[in-house]
Structure 1
Amino acid sequence: SWAAAPAGYDYRVDLRVVYQYYCDNLPRPDEPQYPLWQGLRPTSTLTATGLRARLEECTGHASPPAERTALQQRNLDDILAVTGIPERTLESHLRFSVFTFRDIVHKRLGDRNPFTNTGVRYSGSHDDEALNAGVERFTADPAAARDLSYDSDLTGKVKIPVLTLHAIGDPTAFVEHEAAYRDALAGAHRDRNLVQTFTDEHEHSGLSTSEYANSIAALDGWVRTGDRPTPRSIAASCARFDRAYGTGCLYEPEYRPSSYSSRVLPRPGGTSWPAMTAAQEKSWSRVDGVGIAP
């Protein structure tokens, strides 16, 4: 009954098709064509530098706004509005949707498609009707989606304490990923093993050293004593480490991220967590050759 690959790929699937709708240069009309779920045809010699040039050609992404053409600005505005991807990480997300997808499809899944955007309604552009009529659509090969899910999805059945630290403004792994993780553990009745903390920061990594040290100490104390900390107690204990490191304590102990589907357009059946139950994992483990190529 599996319909799509892990939901963590969905917003990059959306970026790949929305980008091509507006830019029509990956591939160009005079280049060999391929379905966009491949990311890139396997024999392409396109480099990250070449991809950056095509992004710039279409959107003026690396240029000051005053130097962009009206069409470039509209293309950029539409791509960002529809996908919800921050402008400063647009290029890196596009690289994932091109080069990582090529690796997954051609090297790991034997040229099978694990992705779907069938039934997704895109919105936020200057002409949503035209976008939805013209964007490329595809449906996953169920076996390919199963194999990628088996490799990547979580059952939520964690048996040890887990403490997370996530920047609210993370532009790469959106903070709503934490809601999906929380719901996966709750769906497996293991959320008692999870404490999540959030900070008023805006990077994917390289957060405050004081917070890292504080998180490690809080997790260590939980493991040693069995006393489960709270976001508020973790925020309160950070000052001790900040006296040593001086990088700040930016915790927001009352923050709770919105659902994953509030940020990433869900696929049919894609709002239940865990995405792969322990029973599914056990059943799939009996399938000969299940999973992706190493």
Structure 2
Amino acid sequence: MAAVLAGFLTVGILVGASNARGEAAGPASAECPADLVGKADCYRGRDSNGAYYAMAVPDDWNGSLVVHAHGGPDLGAESDPARSLGDLGRWSVMVKEGYAWAGSSYRRGGYGTRMAAADTESVRRLFVEEFGKPRRTYVHGQSWGGNVAAKVVETYGGQDGAYDGALLTNGVLGGGSRGYDYRLDLRVVYQYYCGNHPRPTEPQYPLWQGLRAGSTMTTNGLRGRLQECTGYASAPQERTALQQRNLDDILAVTKIPERTLESHLRFATFTFRDIVHERLGGRNPFGNRGVRYSGSHDDEALNAGVERFAANPEAVRDLSYDSDLTGQVSIPVLTLHAIDDPTVFVEHEAAYGATLSGAGRAGQLVQTFTREDEHSELSDAEYANSIAALDEWVRTGERPTARSIADSCPAFDRTYGTGCFYDPAFDPPPYASRVEPRPGGLLWPAMTAAQERAWSRIEGVGIAP
């Protein structure tokens, strides 16, 4: 056991030994976001782990609470005091629907799904201490926050009725061990065609690092290199023939939409650096040996020339423990996902559905899909409709269908006027149809019971809470 703990402590993975700790403060009264002024009382504070948070209680509170898990992850070293208040403004529809709201900025930036889940649970407990136990409590997460909220469900959902249901919207539900494979593929395919990240004259490093430790590259610098190679920011007629071919090949092989190419490359650069150098002690959780890339103008040359590497099994295990989902849920879970989400592909829903089905919990899940093509924000009418459908499911015990949820949306759209775009007949394709599977599947060594106990005892260090 001592050896196990020593290894985890020296790695310093996804919670991170450098958590900003501060004296707990609040909740203290704060100015509400503009569209909640006169409709709610708002509060801000900081928990004992250093995470800033925001809360709101509407004037017409229905007695229930929505606990929000934000996406990202942001990459700042400290908790961002403005983040949770901004999230409150963005998700004000929940408060307008009569729900109290609480959200954490997390104790630090950077990756760490279990850390973020622990901070989400922390803000729920702080709300209860201040305002009493709500009638019902729902956790909501969007994007990476969907992964965080799903981890909250599995970790805290069955504890003393802490949560009654979950709403996961455009969520990263494939987990970290495979949910970023397409960004790894982008990283290596981009370098094959562009050769400027790094340039031949710069220090070289394996591309699974995202970026070498100590690099001073900025997001603007990365955009400049992407523009140099592909002309992505220019009108098609202004690109050179080579730029257009590079762009066409990269998009065709990776299946990434052109409009989000830059954001995906940013993630595969800066967030990969955070995962590898700051959370996994320099170990590699990504691999692409045996992957056959296709769709380019010369697949044979691409597959012969692209950089290849194998993942470190322990790094995969640790990233999996932090962010992968087991399907062990005991409360109703409703998901909402844009079919043409350009950032978190809808195939993540197929992966999550398979996970719950494999765990024998398919009856705890209802998935809905919309004909939208945005990632960061969907229709307010749909959010209001979704939380109402989840609430009714919890109250009555009657599991809704995708059709019944679609049919109930127009009543909310009469209030919000943002549209209802449900496609109740949609069935997401398998995850492997969008992202090339890694040959051999998931082969990291399983944790022993002793290792699991060691993880559970570590506070403020590593990927584990």
- TM-score (normalizing by structure 2): 0.59
Query: What CA distance in whole angstroms lies between the structure 2 residues aligned with 1:292 and 1:223?
Result: 32
Change (3 A) 1:173 1:94: same
Partner of 1:47: 218
Q: In 2, are the aligned partners of 1:150 and 1:284 still within 8 Å (CA)? A: no
Superposition deviation, residue 239 in structure 1: 1.1
Shift >2 Å, 4+ stretches: 279-284, 286-294
Partner of 1:152: 323
Q: Secondary structure at the match of 1:198?
A: strand
Q: After the TM superposition, which residues 275-286 of structure 1 pair with which residues of structure 2 at under 5 Å, given as runs? A: 284-286=451-453
Superposition deviation, residue 268 in structure 1: 2.3
Partner of 1:134: 305
**2:226 aligned partner, one-letter code:** L
| Structure having greater relative contact order (Cα 8 Å, sep ≥ 6) | 1
Query: What CA distance in whole angstroms lies between the structure 2 residues aligned with 1:268 and 1:105?
Result: 22
Partner of 1:98: 269
Q: After the TM superposition, which residues 73-222 of structure 1 pair with which residues of structure 2 at under 5 Å, given as runs? A: 73-222=244-393
5+ residue gaps, structure 1, are none
Partner of 2:237: 66
Can you list the C-alpha shifts for 1:176-234, whole angstroms capped at 9, x where unaligned?
A: 00000000000101010000000000000221111110000000000111000000000
Partner of 1:254: 425
**1:156 aligned partner, one-letter code:** G
Q: Secondary structure at the match of 1:178?
A: helix
Q: In 2, are the aligned partners of 1:109 and 1:293 still within 8 Å (CA)? A: no
Larger radius of gyration: 2
Q: In 1, are the aligned partners of 2:339 and 2:372 still within 8 Å (CA)? A: yes
Structure (1/2) with the larger strand percentage: 2
Query: What CA distance in whole angstroms lies between the structure 2 residues aligned with 1:284 and 1:200?
Result: 44
Work out whether 1:9 is the aligned partner of 2:176. no
Work out whether 1:232 is the aligned partner of 2:232. no
Change (3 A) 1:224 1:89: same
* Identical positions, percent: 74
Change (3 A) 1:231 1:283: farther
Superposition deviation, residue 243 in structure 1: 1.0
**1:215 aligned partner, one-letter code:** S
RMSD: 2.0
Query: What CA distance in whole angstroms lies between the structure 2 residues aligned with 1:81 and 1:61?
Result: 14
Q: In 1, are the aligned partners of 2:322 and 2:464 still within 8 Å (CA)? A: no
Can you list the C-alpha shifts for 1:17-54, whole angstroms capped at 9, x where unaligned?
A: 00000000000000000000000001110000000000
Structure (1/2) with the larger helix percentage: 1
Query: What CA distance in whole angstroms lies between the structure 2 residues aligned with 1:147 and 1:98?
Result: 20
**1:67 aligned partner, one-letter code:** E
**Count of aligned positions:** 286
Q: In 1, are the aligned partners of 2:371 and 2:423 still within 8 Å (CA)? A: yes
Query: What CA distance in whole angstroms lies between the structure 2 residues aligned with 1:46 and 1:54?
Result: 11
Q: Secondary structure at the match of 1:163?
A: strand
Change (3 A) 1:248 1:9: same
Query: What CA distance in whole angstroms lies between the structure 2 residues aligned with 1:5 and 1:92?
Result: 17
Change (3 A) 1:170 1:63: same
Q: Of 203, 214, 226, which residue of structure 2 is paired with 1:32?
A: 203
Query: What CA distance in whole angstroms lies between the structure 2 residues aligned with 1:181 and 1:62?
Result: 34
Superposition deviation, residue 287 in structure 1: 5.9
Partner of 1:223: 394
